[in-house]
Structure 1
């Protein structure tokens, strides 16, 4: 009897390999061949699931959002009856590069942002993600403070590079974010 293959799991495995390649060599170095080698699969298998590099990278971007979302859900589930401020803080701090996973995601985010500057499809995907996140953040804020969602989110995004480069520690970045959260929820 032939072995049943979980296509979604294979695609996620390939996406995780994309993250590792970007983390170590940058997005320009990503090729189907490099990703296949990193994933420990054949080039043909990667091509079976993704016909182009862009298709593979767009899937990886979506997968990253799902990965962060699962971690955030677990984090929120651990909070008993969280306040809107706690939910907002959890959402934003989950994006800061403070763990191995979130550092990898920050590097990948920056790589996708760089590609988006010159590639309309990537720009559209990032704008869509921004819209969804900003809507979720704004819903947590008091009605007269919903404009603060932009400030909080883009402060967090702006801290990715400085934390990755060692200008700030994750704790220092979180302290900056907490200061702004206190203002937004005052």
Structure 2
């Protein structure tokens, strides 16, 4: 059974929640990471999105990855592998209070990934995000596409597949600009 996909209007709280999540993550793993990036649609001001934050933790390389896993496990995350995408390690949450911190917070749903600095997937995430941030008209087109797909897609997989050609074209523009 497919769950309904809902695109909500942009909410400035998304950025604030990202910064709070980043703060909790940094308390545990800051010395191991180069950056913690807010990516995906919720990271683009004005862009409607599913209410799920996408977060990329950037590390120098895989030599420190076991220590990153340990740090994230202390916060309640668990390693899920790369889920079929090389150089992008996914992490699930044990419960809605993850990441566990000093305050018990029921966190917004989020996807957490760890990528080495030279990761192609990290490059794609940042290039797509930055292009949409710099070209609001393209972001509007993307939102219209997402809203249409949310109405017609039979599954999340179909929804994601339906965005593929648009994402590919934007990435080509981003690389060539």
Is the pair's TM-score, using the shorter chain for normalization, greater than 0.5? no
Structure with greater helix percent: 1
Structure with greater strand percent: 2
The TM tier, using the shorter chain, reads under 0.3
Scaled by the length of structure 2, what TM-score is found? 0.25
With CA pairs under 8 Å and 6+ residues apart, which has the higher RCO, 1 or 2? 2
- Highest CA radius of gyration, 1 or 2? 1
